[in-house]
Amino acid sequence: MIAHNLVYHRPETIGEALGAFAGAEAEGLKPYYLAGGTEITTFSRRGLITPGALIDLKTIPECRVLTRREGSAVFGAGLTLNEVGECPFFPLLSEAAGIVDHTVRNRLTLGGNIAGMLPYRETVLPFLLTDTAARLAGPGGEREVPLADIFSRRLKLKPGEFLVQLRVPEAEAGLPWFRRRRVKQSRLDYPLLTICALAARDGIRLALSGVFDSPVRSPEVEAVLNDRSLEPARRAETAAAAFGLRARDDQRGSAQYREMLLLRGLEETIRELGGEG
């Protein structure tokens, strides 16, 4: 139960959403953008957040776009993870969207997963591997920026800004891919390790979640992964070290176990995508 009152807005346009957000702020109600609401409701129940106004993004047409145009695949932030998962435009993304189960995925949204508060953000991984452009809307108007420029551990939005769409070059969306996911036990659980990788002309690109505190893609790691002067096993080892981060140690798994999973995941990525015999 959410014990406090709040105002619910259901805007039809980007402008209305921004207006509602600004209006709520002016009234001193702490506004939150609402997508599937799974974090908003569960975090509110536990008193971790106390939204005073919710602005639902799911009815804004731009947030619901799923299309291919001008050489790009475009994904609206309000798509459910089932809608993303069932779409063939970006096979690695469809795979990455396959978290939890069908029923829950009917609620989870792409935008909520990437912009949300939980640290896993597994659907951001495929985007981090491509030249993705993020379309944002905020008090200053709309802008499109490279995702890489605004994603570092989490999505860095300006106050009042929200994610409208993500645009991926089709050429990259079609690259050969590899994904490996490991969990404590139930596959409906958060990951101990999720690796998403693409085989581009210039080599393997790899991003991961679950092992460290936030999703990462690292140029240093990729340089090692693609260094053919090293034996594959050695490459994996050196690449794992090149993250320079400490593995999480929590109720789901020890740091030691995560490190082992990481090493094996890197070996497997090299085997699958590295063009090694």
Partner 1 sequence: MRRTGFRGRIISIVNEPSVIGKSYTRKDGAEKVHGRIRYTDDLQLAGTLHAALLTSPHAHAEIVSIDTSPAASAPGVRGVATGDDFPYLLGIYLGDKPPLARGRVRQFGEPVAAVIADTPEQAEAALSLIRVEYRPLPAVLSVREALAPGAPLIHEEMDKYARIPAILPEPGSNVANRTRILKGDPEGAMAAAAVTVEQEFSFPPGDHVAMEPRAARAEIRPNGTVVIRSSTQAPFVVRALMSRFFDLPPGKIEIVAPPVGGGFGGKAGIQLEGLAYLLSRKVGGRPVRLVNSREQDIVSSPGHIGMEAKVKIGADRDGRLTAMDLLYLFDSGSSADYAVNVSRAGAIACTGPYRVDNVRAESLCVYTNHPFATAYRGFGHEVIFAIERALDRLADQLEIDPVELRIINAIRPGDTSPTRSRMDPNTGDLPGCLGQAAEMIGWEKGSREEIGPGRVRGRGISSFWKAPAMPPNADAGVILTFNEDGSINLNSGILEIGNGTYTGLAQIVAERFRDDPDRVHVNFEVRTVHSPHDWATAASRSLFMAGRAALAAADDAIARIKKIAAAPLRCPEEDLDVAGGRVFLRDDPERGLDLAEVVLGYQYPDGQSIGGQVIGRGSYISRGLTGLDPETGEGHPALEWTLGAEAVEVEVDLNDGTFEVIRAVCAMDVGRVINPRLARGNVVGAMEMALGFSTTEGFVFDDRGRPLNYLLRDFKIPRYGEHPRYGVEFLNTPQKDGPYGARGLGEQGILGIPGALANAVSRAIGRPIDSLPITPEKIWQAIRGGGQ
Ligand X SMILES: Cc1cc2nc3c(=O)[nH]c(=O)nc-3n(C[C@H](O)[C@H](O)[C@H](O)COP(=O)(O)OP(=O)(O)OC[C@H]3O[C@@H](n4cnc5c(N)ncnc54)[C@H](O)[C@@H]3O)c2cc1C
203-262 positions binding ligand X, by CB under 6 A: none
153-172 positions binding ligand X, by CB under 6 A: 162-163
Q: Kindly state the number of chain residues that form the binding site for ligand X, as judged by CB under 6 A.
A: 31
Q: Does the protein bind ligand X through residue 121 (CB under 6 A)?
A: yes
Q: Does the protein bind ligand X through residue 132 (CB under 6 A)?
A: no
If the CB atoms of residues 229 and 251 are measured against partner 1, the closer one turns out to be 251
Q: Does the protein bind ligand X through residue 120 (CB under 6 A)?
A: yes
If the CB atoms of residues 152 and 254 are measured against partner 1, the closer one turns out to be 254
Nearest-CB residue to ligand X?
112
Interacting residues with partner 1 (CB under 8 A): 1, 3-4, 42, 46-47, 101, 182, 184-189, 251, 253-254, 257, 260-261, 264
Residue 36 touches which member of partner 1, ligand X, none, C-beta under 5-8 Å by kind: ligand X
If the CB atoms of residues 5 and 229 are measured against partner 1, the closer one turns out to be 5
If the CB atoms of residues 131 and 237 are measured against partner 1, the closer one turns out to be 237
- Region of 4-12, 83-91, 109-117, 234-242 interacting with ligand X (CB under 6 A): 109-117
DSSP the chain: ---S--EEE--SSHHHHHHHHHHHHHTT--EEEESS-HHHHHHHHTTS---SEEEE-TT-GGGG-EEEETTEEEEETT-BHHHHHT--S-HHHHHHT--S-HHHHTT-BHHHHHHSSSS--TTHHHHHTTT-EEEEEETTEEEEEEHHHHEESEE-PPTT-EEEEEEEEHHHHTS-EEEEEEESS-TTSPEEEEEEEEEETTEEEEEEESSSSS-EE-HHHHHHHT-TTS-HHHHHHHHHHHT--PPP-BTTB-HHHHHHHHHHHHHHHHHHHS---
CB of 250 to ligand X, least distance (A): 14
